[in-house]
């Protein structure tokens, strides 16, 4: 009797273990049923997405067939924006919604099938029909540094420090470091967001004005609007020295012994990976200066860009964009288009392409030359080819996409003031400049509010 009582629990344990093993094997079989590679003999089909709405980072599942099981060969697009894929199996793609794909997104799957004769990856594509993903936009305007209504040079925390007049702003690739041209204060101010500090980087300048990082963000350059130290052209500061040892770049003489830049004032400055470009008042001269050798060249002349013009290098199309303040227009030109049959300077008025603005006036959204901007000042380009422009007479910030659709990103047209919050309700007071991080966070020099503002849209 005793032995039978002892054996019964062992029998039950063995039975339970056997059932569990069988269940696990069945579950593993069910899990692996879709872990199969893409078949070139079957079509790729996209049948659905869930959920059908959300914002940045929302996790979604795209259902279909013949996706394969190699995550490295699968791409998922919301309109033109590629999503981060977390997992792939033959009937489902698990992914996260990308940033700002558009209010309504077409869903497309692309599977790499090999390479073409030129060695370029070849894809088979399929789209989800009759269903679009609805993207929820979250957007805010906040004050980053400075005190509204306080015009004074004071270092300190970002909330307690102040600017004399923040005219121009630039931001590094991380969004953690900003440089501000405090022109009335004669200083370049540095904002360190992780340290919550506003400090003075360069002092004793004569109206510091437009600045620019180079493309790898290892160097920062800034021009003085009305330099009294000719033949000084501009200053450079470098990440390798923690921005603490600025160097001067000087004008040079041509073959006739005349200074190339001369006595003209330069308001526009931008940079690519090799050169710094300078544009003089009214576009009389366009210079490029080698960042390493400091060689100065006159590459454009008599371009006629209005008295106050500013520049931004677009890393997407490798063109320079020019804002013409009084005209309310934007032009572009290719600085690398060197015609072997032309003598220097090879960039002329004929090389400028008018792309945006019908003439300065009240703000009117539209496409390209059918849009109406006001008095525009600084501009910036992100890595997706979007252009951002400050319109100080209308007190708004414009965004211009690759198709030249011009929309008001933030501010209330014609209404100046100071207000954080939703972009379409936020108020600015004569903003002069704008900067953008590679991932699309926008900073504004809100000049006559004496603050630096941030526009974050997700």
Work out the pLDDT band at 9, boundaries 50, 70, 90.
very low
Q: What sign does the CA torsion over 249, 255, 258, 260 have?
A: negative
Residue bearing the bigger pLDDT, 395 or 29: 395
Q: Answer yes or no: is pLDDT of 324 > 70.
A: yes
Kindly report the CA angle at 15 between 10 and 17, in degrees rounded to 5? Answer: 95
Confidence of residue 346 (pLDDT cuts 50, 70, 90): confident
Q: How confident is the model at residue 102 (pLDDT cuts 50, 70, 90)?
A: confident
Helix (H) or strand (E) holding 185: none
pLDDT band at 8 (very low <50, low <70, confident <90, very high): very low
Predicted confidence (pLDDT) at residue 441 exceeds the cutoff of 70 = yes
Where does 183-231 show beta strands of DSSP type E? Answer: 187-192, 197-202, 208-213, 219-224
Superfamily of domain 45-135: Immunoglobulins (2.60.40.10)
Round to whole Å and give the CA distance between 143 and 154.
17
Is residue 166 predicted with pLDDT exceeding 60?
Answer: yes
Q: How confident is the model at residue 19 (pLDDT cuts 50, 70, 90)?
A: very low
DSSP run (H or E) holding 12: helix 2-32
The pLDDT tens digits for 85-95 are 999 999 999 99
At 31, is the pLDDT very low, low, confident or very high (cuts 50, 70, 90)?
A: low
pLDDT higher than 70, residue 32: no
Residues with Cβ < 8 Å from 256, sequence gap 6 or more? none
Cβ(155)–Cβ(200) under 8 Å? yes
- C-alpha R_g of the chain: 28
- Looking up tokens 């080698």 gives 290
Mean pLDDT, range 148-171, rounded to an integer: 97
Classified as helix, coil or strand, 239 is helix
DSSP strand pairing (133-135 vs 53-54): parallel
* Confidence band for 100, pLDDT divided at 50, 70 and 90: confident
Q: What is the tens place of the pLDDT at every residue in 274-284?
A: 999 999 988 99
Give percent above pLDDT 90 in the chain: 79
Residue with tokens 């959300």: 54
The CA distance from 202 to 181, in Å, is 10
Confidence check: pLDDT of 196 > 60: yes
Out of 23-27, 224-228, 295-299, pick the least confident. Answer: 23-27
pLDDT of residue 150: 98
Q: Domain extents for the chain? A: 45-135, 139-457
Q: Which of 456, 434, 39 lies closest to 212 in space, CA to CA?
A: 434
CATH code of the region 139-457:
2.120.10.30
d(CA 270, CA 312): 5
Rounded CA gap, 34 and 45, in Å? Answer: 15
- How much is the pLDDT for 342? 66
Cβ count near 240 (within 10 Å): 8
Nearest alpha-carbon partner for 235 in 264, 201, 258: 201
- CA 56, 57, 58, 61 torsion-angle sign: positive
pLDDT class of 57 with cuts at 50, 70, 90:
confident
224 and 232 Cβ atoms separated by less than 8 Å: yes
In this predicted structure, what is the pLDDT of residue 338? Answer: 74
β-pairing verdict for 387-391 and 376-381:
antiparallel
Q: Which of the four pLDDT bands, split at 50, 70 and 90, describes residue 2?
A: very low
Is the pLDDT assigned to residue 25 strictly greater than 70? Answer: no
> What are the CA-CA distances from residue 255 to residues 260, 264, 348, 380 (Å)?
10, 19, 21, 35
Q: Give residue for tokens 């992914």.
A: 95
What is the per-residue pLDDT across 365-389, written as a single tens digit (0 to 9) for each?
Answer: 999 999 999 999 999 999 989 999 9
Q: Where are the beta strands (DSSP E) in 308-404?
A: 309-314, 319-324, 329-333, 353-356, 366-367, 376-381, 387-391, 396-400
Q: Which has the minimum average pLDDT: 22-31, 100-109, 142-151, 343-352? A: 22-31
Residue 365's CB is within 10 A of a number of other CB atoms, namely 14
Euclidean distance between CA atoms 355 and 92, whole angstroms: 43
Write down the pLDDT at residue 340: 63
Calpha distance 446→397 (Å, rounded): 10
Q: Give the burial class of 78: count Cβ atoms within 10 A of its Cβ; 0-12 exposed, 13-18 middle, 19 or more buried.
A: buried
- How many residues comprise the chain? 458
Segment 166-174 mean pLDDT: 96
**Pairwise CA distance, residues 332 & 356, whole Å:** 10
Is the separation of the CB atoms in 231 and 251 below 8 Å?
yes
Q: How far is CA 345 from CA 77, 284, 285, 335, 393, in A?
A: 44, 11, 9, 11, 34
Give 145's contacts (C-beta < 8 A, 6+ positions apart): 158, 159, 161, 163, 178, 180, 191, 198, 451, 452
pLDDT averaged over the chain?
A: 91
Of 273 and 339, the one with more pLDDT: 273
């Amino acid at each position: 009797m005793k032995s039978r009582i002892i054996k019964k629990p062992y029998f039950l344990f063995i039975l339970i273990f056997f059932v569990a093993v069988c269940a696990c094997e069945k579950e593993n079989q069910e899990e692996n049923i879709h872990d199969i590679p893409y078949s070139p003999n079957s079509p790729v089909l996209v049948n659905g997405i869930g959920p059908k709405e959300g914002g940045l980072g929302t996790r979604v599942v795209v259902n279909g067939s013949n996706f394969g099981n190699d995550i490295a060969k699968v791409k998922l697009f919301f309109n033109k924006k590629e999503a981060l894929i977390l997992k792939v199996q033959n009937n489902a793609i698990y992914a996260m919604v990308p940033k700002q794909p558009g209010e309504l997104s077409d869903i497309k799957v692309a599977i790499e099938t090999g390479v073409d004769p030129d060695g370029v990856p070849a894809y088979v594509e399929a789209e989800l029909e009759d269903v679009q993903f609805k993207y929820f936009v979250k957007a805010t305007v906040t004050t980053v540094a400075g005190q509204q209504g306080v015009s004074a040079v004071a270092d300190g925390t970002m909330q307690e420090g102040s600017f004399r007049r923040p005219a121009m702003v630039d931001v590094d690739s991380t969004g953690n470091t900003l440089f501000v041209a405090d022109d009335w204060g004669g200083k370049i101010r540095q904002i360190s967001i992780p340290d919550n500090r506003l400090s003075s980087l360069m002092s004793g300048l004569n109206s510091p004005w437009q600045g620019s990082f180079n493309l790898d963000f290892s160097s920062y350059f800034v021009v003085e609007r009305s330099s009294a130290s000719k033949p000084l052209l501009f200053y450079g500061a470098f990440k390798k020295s923690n921005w603490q040892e600025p160097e001067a770049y000087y004008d040079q003489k041509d073959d006739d012994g005349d200074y190339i830049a001369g006595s003209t004032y330069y308001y526009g400055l931008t940079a690519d990976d090799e050169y710094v470009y300078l544009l003089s008042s009214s576009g009389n001269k366009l210079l490029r200066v080698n960042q390493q050798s400091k060689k100065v060249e006159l590459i454009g002349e008599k371009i006629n860009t209005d008295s106050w013009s500013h520049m931004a290098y677009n890393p997407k199309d490798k063109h320079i964009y020019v804002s013409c303040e009084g005209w309310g227009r934007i032009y572009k030109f290719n600085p690398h288009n060197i015609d072997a049959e032309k003598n220097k300077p090879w960039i002329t008025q004929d090389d400028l392409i008018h792309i945006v603005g019908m003439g300065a006036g009240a703000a009117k959204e539209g496409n390209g030359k059918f849009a109406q901007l006001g008095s525009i000042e600084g501009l910036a380009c992100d890595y997706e080819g979007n252009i951002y422009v400050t319109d100080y007479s209308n007190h708004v910030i414009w965004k211009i996409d690759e198709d030249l659709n011009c929309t008001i990103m933030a501010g209330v047209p014609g209404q100046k003031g100071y207000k954080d919050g939703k972009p379409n309700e936020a108020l600015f007071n004569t903003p002069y400049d704008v900067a953008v991080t590679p991932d699309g966070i926008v900073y504004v020099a809100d000049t006559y509010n004496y603050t630096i503002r941030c526009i974050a849209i997700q």
